[in-house]
């Protein structure tokens, strides 16, 4: 997409800045249960599985809603859809403060989850303002809104201590309404939507937008996103609980440690977009997966005591990953996951320029489902095994599967088209075709 007539750099930066700010607020709301959930768990006496389900429920709605929110954004434009989504979410967040039972908490959590759908609205809206060669960087900067998770990890524990979790929820709801109003007042209608309104052409139908979903490549991108985004959301929600339980630290300290994971997991997304524009998204995906495998292998190692039969009797020694080693490992993991998130979304406007909303929505939905499935599975595995590090073992398996699938797919694709191609070629991005036809 070339830069459209009448679109100034100022228009581009306004769209990008407002969208990123709105997404940050939405993401902070979306992950609120990672902190207030710990208090709710204590108040209601929940087990690990119930807590996992509570934390994961907003992620479920946030993921599934991405499909229809992406389609609606293609049809009606982000300037209309994003403020509406924020206002509806704010009502659920406000009502959260008056809930008494676990079952109703789950229902409120479903409504709160709409906050997660803001991502695809922003992706579709922002991509319409930028030309192809700058989209990776622009969408990477927009994705920095993931820093909302770090805002919640750092700030919410102190709010909970100061005013209680009920008023924390109300404060979040008020901020969300203010952001919705500000976005509607200051944002402009995107160029594609503006042209459509001026020319009177009909919006693309939902059926036409969903056509690329028959392409197997879309589902491969979605699997990568299951780890880099779904895994990120799952760990941002699980780590405060892990630090409190495994290391016995206070909730405020646990929130700071978890924030140290989610901060690089967010802010370096812009760097990932720039690296994808410069060296290709595949190179960035390989880097993400290989470093993640190493970090997760080390994080998975449970505290173990060995007794060896020595010459002068048994020798006992202990291997334990201290919190001062564990926290830096999470920082490294968060950093490479943020690069990977940007790399996945660099692919989409390149391969599917006219279906960013629907294809991005599906990829975001599958990725977000990782954020739903993983915390629930973490809880079940913790209840079943009683081993604190078992969630990281599960994450290691997920990355291993993604890495193998990506490598096999790229080799097949490249060797199918270019027999004898040098190894470095399949690190660069060579789209099969600018507008690939769906694979039936």
DSSP three-state, residue 94:
helix
Q: Per residue in 378-434, pLDDT tens?
A: 989 998 998 889 999 999 999 999 899 888 888 887 666 544 444 334 344 444 333
In this structure, CATH architecture of domain 10-193+200-304+317-427: Up-down Bundle (1.20)
Least-confidence region, from 30-34, 340-344, 352-356, 429-433: 429-433
> Model pTM?
0.72
**Residue given tokens 């959260």 in the structure block:** 96
Is 70 within 8 Å of 76 (Cβ atoms)?
no
Q: Per residue in 47-71, pLDDT tens?
A: 888 888 888 888 888 888 888 888 8
Q: Per residue in 212-250, pLDDT tens?
A: 677 777 888 888 999 998 898 889 888 988 898 888 888
The pLDDT value recorded for residue 432 is 39
Is 160 within 8 Å of 34 (Cβ atoms)?
no
Q: Per residue in 257-302, pLDDT tens?
A: 988 998 887 778 888 888 888 888 889 999 999 999 999 999 998 8
How far, in Å, CA of 48 to CA of 111, rounded?
A: 22
Could you state, in order of their start, the residue ranges of all structural domains in the chain? Answer: 10-193+200-304+317-427
Bridge pairing between strands 313-319 and 304-310: antiparallel
Mean pLDDT of 328-334: 95
Phi, psi of 62 (to 5 degrees): -60, -30
Q: How far is CA 336 from CA 28, 136, 289, in A?
A: 21, 16, 8
Q: What is the mean pLDDT of the chain?
A: 83
Is 254 within 8 Å of 398 (Cβ atoms)?
no
> What letter would DSSP give residue 308?
E
**For residue 171, pLDDT beyond 80:** yes
Pick the closest to residue 146 from 73, 77, 230 (CA basis).
230
**For residue 128, pLDDT beyond 80:** yes
Q: How far is CA 305 from CA 316, 377, 379, 386, in A?
A: 7, 27, 25, 16
Q: How far is CA 304 from CA 96, 327, 387, 393, 434, in A?
A: 41, 19, 11, 15, 53
Mean pLDDT of 139-158: 83
> What letter would DSSP give residue 428?
S
Least-confidence region, from 169-178, 184-193, 406-415, 418-427: 418-427
Phi, psi of 45 (to 5 degrees): 65, 45
């Amino acid at each position: 997409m070339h830069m459209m007539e009448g679109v100034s750099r100022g228009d581009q930066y306004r769209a990008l800045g407002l969208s990123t700010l709105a997404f940050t607020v939405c993401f902070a709301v979306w992950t609120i249960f990672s902190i207030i959930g710990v208090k709710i768990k204590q108040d209601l006496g929940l087990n690990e599985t119930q807590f996992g389900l509570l934390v994961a429920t907003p992620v479920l709605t946030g993921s599934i809603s991405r499909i229809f929110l992406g389609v609606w954004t293609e049809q009606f434009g982000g300037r209309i859809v994003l403020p509406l989504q924020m206002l509806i979410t704010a009502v659920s967040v406000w009502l959260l403060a008056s809930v008494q039972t676990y079952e109703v908490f789950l229902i409120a959590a479903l409504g709160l989850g709409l906050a997660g759908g803001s991502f695809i609205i922003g992706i579709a809206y922002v991509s319409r303002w930028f030309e192809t060669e700058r989209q990776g960087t622009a969408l990477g900067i927009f994705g920095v809104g993931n820093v909302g998770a770090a805002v919640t990890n750092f700030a919410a524990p102190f709010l909970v201590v100061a005013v209680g979790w009920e008023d924390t929820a109300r404060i979040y709801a008020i901020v969300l309404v203010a952001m919705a109003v500000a976005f509607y007042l200051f944002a402009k209608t995107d160029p594609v939507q503006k042209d459509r309104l001026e020319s009177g052409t009909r919006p693309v139908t939902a059926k036409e937008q969903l056509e690329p979903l028959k392409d197997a490549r879309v589902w491969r991108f979605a699997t990568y996103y299951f780890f880099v985004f779904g895994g990120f959301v799952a760990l941002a929600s699980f780590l405060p609980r892990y630090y409190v339980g495994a290391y016995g630290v206070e909730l405020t300290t646990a929130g700071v440690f978890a924030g140290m994971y989610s901060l690089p997991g967010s802010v370096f997304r812009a760097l990932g977009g720039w690296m994808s524009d410069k060296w290709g998204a595949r190179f960035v995906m390989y880097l993400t997966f290989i470093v993640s495998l190493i970090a997760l292998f080390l994080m998975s190692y449970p505290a173990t005591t060995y007794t060896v039969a020595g010459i002068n009797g048994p020798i006992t020694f202990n291997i334990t990953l201290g919190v001062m080693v564990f926290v830096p490992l999470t920082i490294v993991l968060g950093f490479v996951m943020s690069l990977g998130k940007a790399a996945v979304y660099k692919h989409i406007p390149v391969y599917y320029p006219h279906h960013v909303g629907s294809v991005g929505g599906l990829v975001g939905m599958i990725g977000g489902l990782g954020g739903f499935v993983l915390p629930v599975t973490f809880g079940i595995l913790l209840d079943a095994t009683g081993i604190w590090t078992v969630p990281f073992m599960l994450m290691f398996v997920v990355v291993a599967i993604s890495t193998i699938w990506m490598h096999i797919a790229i080799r097949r694709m490249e060797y199918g088209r270019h027999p004898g191609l040098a190894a470095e070629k399949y690190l660069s991005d060579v789209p099969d075709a600018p507008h690939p036809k769906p694979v039936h």
